Amino acid sequence: MPTQPLSHNSSLLLAASAFGTIAVGFGINAIVNPISALSFFSLDTIGAGSNKTLIDSLMVVYGVRDIFVGLGIYAATYFKERKTLGCLLMAFSAVAFMDGYVCKAYVGDGEWGHWSYAPVVGVVGALLVGAADGA
């Protein structure tokens, strides 16, 4: 009896759903509580003293980005579009790496809050596109 490729392991779909939920949660938090979301970038003190309208507006845009990512992950998971899902997760990983870079380069702190989960998301994405399936 042949074994199924690793990319078809149902645990990967569960992990992807969890990542989608995290993205949606981050997005909702950014819209509902912008200062809390800024704390993930070590910018909460800057945001508290800045132009509130500007900060709130930018955080809605940021929140919608994260919600869009999460809903895209949910859709690809629901329809079991593993390669599409894998590409979405690798893109989400790249966003997390870039978010960490911004923290490091512009704030000097907080990068590991992003860099700690980015590789996990990227590896799950790579597995879903078949990186470990062999020939």
What span, in angstroms and rounded, lies between the C-alpha atoms of 26 and 69? 10
**40 close to 30: Cβ distance less than 8 angstroms:** no
In a domain, 76, yes or no: yes
Residue 68 lies in a domain: yes
Residue 1 inside a domain? The answer is: no
In a domain, 133, yes or no: no
Per-residue pLDDT of the chain in tens (135 residues, 90 and over written 9): 568 999 999 999 999 999 999 999 999 999 999 999 999 998 877 766 668 889 899 999 999 999 999 999 999 999 999 999 999 999 999 999 999 999 999 999 999 999 999 999 999 999 999 999 986
Q: Is 8 exposed, middle or buried (0-12, 13-18, 19+ CB in 10 A)?
A: middle
| Residue 4 within a domain | no
Give the H/E segment covering residue 104: none
Counting the structural domains of the chain, the total is 1
Residue 111 lies in a domain: yes
**2: in domain:** no
Separation CA 11–CA 92 (nearest Å): 19
pTM greater than the 0.85 cutoff: yes
Range of the domain at 63: 10-128
| 32 belongs to a structural domain | yes
- Report the distance separating Cα 34 and Cα 44, nearest Å: 9
The CA distances from residue 94 to 3, 27, 88, 105, 114, in Å, are: 31, 17, 10, 16, 10
- Whole-number Å distance between alpha carbons of 118 and 63: 18
